[in-house]
Structure 1
């Protein structure tokens, strides 16, 4: 899957994207609310190769997409099917360099539209750390609704965290 928006190209990752992606995930602030710690020089190839391999969305495989602004990868979108019929979950990470420019909203919104129109998914959801207010605002900007707030339900990075579930149907667009 490859497509463009007004300012972005969204496409599968290429091996030449490694340094741009490393710059996104080698940041403590970016990874603070993610399930993984920041990338290191030692593990970046292993982690990046997983993104390279995720080039198609199927029931068995996740899709990882690079968000390219001008000539640089500034974001990472992921989509995978859940165990529920025609339901996908989305995840994303963006460089702090582009915060406040609307690029994440543009990228995630266009991905959501593609998933509903071309993949005919019934439902899209996002699960996030309740402390991640930037991600909450992004979900709300693209039309997702907060459907659940779970209290201390997820053990991550040596602490219990609250989780939020956002969801939307194509009729919410």
Structure 2
């Protein structure tokens, strides 16, 4: 499976992507609002192996896509079924040096389009830490609407956090 946009190629991860992916996830700021801590030298290989295995979207398997620019990985998009019929959740992380260039918007839009047109998904949602303003803005740029704001509903990294839920339906595609 491979998706191409004007500037990017999205594809499953390959072993040669290790260093670039480590660059994304070793950044403490990138991982601040994620469910896991920044990768370390001790756990990076194990974490990367999971991404290599997640190369197909099924009811039981997450799909991790490498977002590449001129052959170099600048991002990671994850998609998984929620357990509700034809509904998936999407998540993403990008190299901090690639921000504010439209790459994340371009990559997520392509993924959303593929999910609706090729996978016939009914609903896509994103659950995120309410403090993650960049992620909220990205959801809105790709056409998702904020459907919920939960107050201190999630315990993560030693604190209660608020959550936003964004969503869109196949019928929302224009």
Q: TM-score range by the shorter chain?
A: over 0.9
Gaps of 5+ in 1: none
Q: Output the CA distance in 2 between the equivalents of 1:50 and 1:106.
A: 25
2:69 matches 1:80: no
User: Which residues of 2 match residues 81-160 of structure 1 at below 5 A?
Assistant: 81-160=81-160
Offset of 1:171 from its aligned partner? 1.8
Q: What CA distance in whole angstroms lies between the structure 2 residues aligned with 1:172 and 1:138?
A: 16
Deviations 1:26-72 (A, max 9, x none): 00110000000000010001000000000100001010000001121
List structure 1 segments (4+ residues) > 2 angstroms apart after TM superposition.
Answer: none
Describe the SS at the equivalent of 2:108: helix
Offset from partner CA, 1:112-169 (integer Å, 9 cap, x none): 0000000000000000000000000000000000000000000000000000000001
Residue of structure 1 equivalent to 2:27: 27
Q: 1:36 matched to which residue of 2? A: 36
The equivalent of 2:57 in structure 1 is 57
- Report the 3-state secondary structure (helix = DSSP H, G, I; strand = E; otherwise coil) of the residue aligned with 2:146: strand
Secondary structure, counterpart of 2:34 in structure 1? coil
